[in-house]
């Protein structure tokens, strides 16, 4: 641990002082006395002074001590940010205490449960020194989490007070109580800044925890809590820097430093199993293709959940590029993308046949599909003599047929090869893979089909965009056919039919435009029917109806 003479002591004191203020404020709310009031307001002056002393020491140390390295400077900067926020928290407590005099009856505040809020605050204040001194990421994130907790508690009080105001009594006390709880909410904001400062001191860069938290809460409320891995987290980080690639020019002879290249990181949290799996996958990818995937900065496990900080890779996702970039850039990106895919497939190719389970994958996601679109289950039908199988029957029979099919070799696949899981960095002329928790040794047709359908399902219907999407599909499909030919893979068209049927069907669960979802559902059933009707027995002779790929 790095120590700074005097500064560490001062910092420890300000943390302890603010903790004391929190306890004193709690006591005051329980039982207000003049003595306690005076103690809290007087202590605030001491905290203000302490903050000024710490700030001065931070600035002078940074300016005068030229021997400090980046890490040490970052720690000093973190101390400065933390002490500013600690002083704010102390101010909020003083404000809470001062507000109490406006209550008609000082025990009025006891109608509301503030104990949980104090517990949250005291727990976090008590974790600051440990998190900072021992560079404990888990504790730092724990501190950050005070913010959504206090927000949620504030919302409960806010709603209740608003209701009570509506009744027309105790207006002054109710408004005062609202102000008091608002200060608790602001303590949460300051604690978040402190947690982020500790993370900054470890990583040397800022991450945005609060958007993640807000997103997580929204998702939990929407019933998505168990499927974080299916959510596109990048959406919340805003547009990637360098994404407007039309404006990015390679600077001649000027290399970006690693610090410049890293412009942030992504915080991911999810079930322990998924996060662990992603870490394993990233590590395996990095061993063979170091620049292809993000670096992991931090990982921690807590109560069955895993959290990970990964490098935020510059560039834009392929979908962003295809939809907004110039033709020339798109061609260039696809060339680099295909070269990368070819290299990964060729390097990791193992000549051992592998069983596929495309229908099994589809069945596993069927409930999700039917939850969004209950209509996407076909009952058996007859049109005169012509028989139409139910979707269930069709899937069951196709699953049986799939048992007689295998891929002639395996490659290390991405596992969730959606177009938005590929990042293109024009400046570096490189692509990166992200969201890798499903990577495994498997049939390359899995990645190929997911990539093709992720293009197809982009909900853009104007001719210009559609032409562009169709061009990408056509080019990539041509590439896959070439790879299959080159490696003597004679059943790839049949496997592609199974895999496309799977992806079309399962993609509907994320598509709320019913007409478009229906389009994909119908395509899936069409493919399943073609598979079912294929009675040749020799899958090498199966011909994929390629029109299925184009909208």
List interacting residues with other proteins (CB under 8 A). Answer: 379-386, 388, 390, 518-519, 522-523, 525-526, 529, 545
Given the complex with other proteins, which of 155 and 377 has the nearer CB atom? 377
Give min distance, CB of 387 to other proteins, in A.
9
For the CA atoms of 19, 25, 27, 31, what is the dihedral angle to 10 degrees?
170
Calpha distance 183→241 (Å, rounded) = 36
Asked if residue 311 lies in contact with residue 265, where contact means CB atoms within 8 angstroms, the answer is yes
CA gap 203, 211 in Å, rounded: 19
Give the residue with the Cβ less far from other proteins, 72 or 474.
474
Q: How far is the CB of 533 from other proteins (least distance, A)?
A: 8
Least distance between other proteins and beta carbon 397 (Å): 17
Residue 304 DSSP one-character state? T
Q: Cα 266 to the chain's mean position, in Å?
A: 7
The smaller minimum CB distance to other proteins, of residues 299 and 534, is found at: 534
CA distances from 90 to 41, 120, 276, 452, 489 (A): 10, 15, 39, 56, 69
Nearer to other proteins, 209 or 528 (CB): 528
Give the nearest distance from C-beta 141 to other proteins in angstroms. Answer: 48
229 token code pair: 């891995």
Nearer to other proteins, 260 or 387 (CB): 387
Q: Which residue has the tokens 């076909």?
A: 378
Query: Shortest Cβ distance from residue 379 to other proteins (Å)?
Result: 4
What is the per-residue burial (b if ≥16 Cβ within 10 Å, else e) of 532-546?
bebeeeebeebebee
Q: Least CB distance from residue 503 to other proteins, whole Å?
A: 15
Count CB-CB contacts under 10 A for residue 77. 16
Q: Enumerate residues 6+ apart whose C-beta is below 8 A from 368.
A: 506, 509
| Shortest Å distance, C-beta 536 to other proteins | 15
Residue number, 310 or 499, with CB nearest to other proteins: 499
What is the nearest approach in angstroms of other proteins to the Cβ of residue 290?
A: 44
Query: Distance between CA 221 and CA 59 in Å, rounded?
Result: 44
Smallest separation (angstroms) from other proteins to the CB of 525: 6
Which is nearest to 424 in space by CA: 343, 339, 342, 334? 334
Cβ nearer to other proteins, comparing 7 with 544:
544
CA 233 to chain centre: 3
Whether 384 contacts 322, CB under 8 Å: no
Which stretches of 384-426 are DSSP H helices? 391-402
For other proteins, the closer of residues 123 and 529 by Cβ is 529
Q: Which of 201, 206, 297, 259 is nearest to 4 (CA)?
A: 201
User: By C-beta, is 1 or 386 nearer to other proteins?
Assistant: 386
**DSSP category for residue 294:** P
3-state SS assignment for residue 355:
strand
- List C-alpha distances in Å: 162 to 50, 100, 155, 470: 39, 19, 10, 54
Give the residue with the Cβ less far from other proteins, 161 or 549.
549
Nearer to other proteins, 385 or 535 (CB): 385
Alpha-carbon gap, residue 56 to 79, rounded angstroms: 11
Instruction: Report, in Å, the least distance between residue 386 CB and other proteins.
Output: 4
Which is closer to other proteins, CB of 364 or CB of 543?
A: 543
The H-or-E segment that residue 85 falls in is helix 70-99
We find the least distance from the C-beta atom of residue 473 to other proteins, in angstroms, to be: 16
CB of 408 to other proteins, least distance (A): 28
């Amino acid at each position: 641990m790095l120590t700074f003479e005097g500064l560490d002591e001062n910092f420890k004191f300000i943390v302890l002082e603010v903790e004391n203020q929190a306890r004193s404020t709690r006591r005051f709310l329980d039982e207000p006395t003049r003595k306690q009031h005076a103690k809290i307001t007087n202590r605030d002056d001491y905290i203000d002074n302490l903050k000024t002393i710490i700030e001065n020491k931070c600035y002078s140390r940074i300016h005068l001590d030229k021997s400090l390295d980046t890490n040490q400077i970052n720690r000093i900067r973190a101390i400065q940010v933390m002490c500013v926020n600690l002083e704010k928290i102390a101010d909020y407590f003083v404000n809470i205490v001062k507000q109490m005099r406006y209550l008609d009856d000082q025990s009025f505040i006891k109608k509301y449960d503030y104990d949980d809020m104090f517990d949250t605050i005291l727990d976090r204040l008590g974790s600051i020194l440990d998190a900072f001194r021992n560079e404990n990421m888990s504790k730092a994130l724990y501190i950050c989490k005070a913010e959504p907790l206090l927000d949620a508690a504030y919302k409960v009080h806010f709603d209740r007070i608003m209701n009570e105001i509506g009744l027309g009594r105790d207006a002054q006390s109710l408004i005062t109580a609202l102000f008091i709880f608002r200060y608790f909410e602001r303590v949460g904001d300051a604690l978040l800044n402190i947690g982020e400062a500790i993370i900054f001191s470890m990583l040397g860069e800022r991450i945005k925890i609060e958007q993640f938290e807000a997103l997580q809460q929204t998702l939990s409320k929407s019933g998505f809590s168990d499927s974080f891995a299916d959510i596109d987290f990048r959406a919340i980080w805003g547009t990637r820097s360098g994404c407007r690639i039309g404006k990015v020019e390679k600077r001649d002879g000027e290399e970006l430093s690693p610090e410049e290249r890293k412009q942030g990181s992504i915080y991911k949290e999810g079930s322990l199993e998924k996060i662990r799996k992603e870490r394993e996958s990233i590590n395996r990818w990095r061993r063979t293709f170091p620049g292809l995937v993000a670096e992991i900065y931090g990982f921690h496990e807590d109560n069955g959940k895993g959290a990970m900080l990964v490098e935020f890779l510059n560039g834009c996702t392929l979908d962003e590029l295809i939809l907004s970039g110039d033709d020339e850039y798109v061609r260039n990106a696809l060339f680099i993308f295909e070269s990368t895919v070819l290299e990964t497939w060729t390097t990791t190719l193992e000549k051992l046949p592998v069983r596929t389970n495309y229908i099994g994958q589809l069945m596993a996601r069927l409930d999700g599909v039917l939850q969004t679109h209950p209509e996407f289950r076909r009952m058996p039908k007859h049109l005169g003599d012509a028989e139409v199988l139910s979707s269930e029957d069709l899937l069951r029979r196709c699953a049986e047929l799939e048992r007689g099919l295998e891929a002639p070799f395996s490659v290390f696949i991405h596992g969730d090869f959606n177009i938005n899981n590929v990042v293109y960095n024009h400046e570096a002329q490189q692509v990166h893979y992200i969201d890798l928790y499903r990577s495994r040794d498997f049939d390359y047709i899995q990645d190929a089909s997911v990539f093709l359908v992720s293009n197809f399902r982009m909900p853009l219907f104007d001719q210009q965009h559609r032409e562009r999407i169709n061009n990408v599909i056509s080019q990539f499909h041509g590439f896959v056919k070439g790879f299959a030919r080159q490696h003597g893979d004679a059943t790839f068209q049949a496997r592609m039919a199974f895999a496309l049927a799977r992806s079309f069907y399962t993609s509907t669960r994320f598509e709320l435009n019913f007409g478009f979802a229906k389009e994909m559902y119908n395509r899936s059933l069409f493919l399943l029917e073609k598979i079912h009707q294929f009675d040749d027995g020799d899958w090498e002779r199966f011909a994929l109806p390629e029109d299925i790929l184009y909208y």
